[in-house]
Amino acid sequence: MKLLVMLGLLTNAVWGGCPHPRADGSQFRALEGCLINRMYAPQCGSDGCNYVNGDAVRCANTFALTRNLPGVEMSHFGMCEEDKEEDNMIEDISADKGNGTDAPA
């Protein structure tokens, strides 16, 4: 069982995305048995999942640690997909600057 869990975490680290998709299509990770305030302050977790706020990240962390899994921390504020879009924009800018000339591409 632990091997399967570790394989799942490794797969997430390599290919990205949340390993806990919701059946209802929501963008946020489902967490049961947690008291989470209703404030909307989305955060991207270190596991690649979107969380509605810091309470949800802390709940996921507690859930993971009590099952001897790697903990979950906030990666950044906002949705995880926003991070991918920013990375793509940075790569585009870097590619434009890396052509070795001062002339526009």
Q: Which residue has the tokens 């977790």?
A: 45
pLDDT at 5: 41
* Strand pairing report for 74-77 and 43-45: antiparallel
For residue 18, what are its two tokens?
């949340």
As assigned by CATH, the class of the 41-86 domain is alpha beta
Per-position pLDDT tens, the chain of length 105: 454 444 444 334 434 689 888 888 889 998 988 999 999 999 999 999 999 999 999 999 999 999 999 999 999 999 998 655 555 555 555 555 655 555 555
> What does the alpha-carbon distance between residue 27 and residue 25 come to, in Å, rounded to a whole number?
6
Q: How many CB atoms lie within 10 A of CB 101?
A: 6
pLDDT at 3: 43
pLDDT at 9: 42
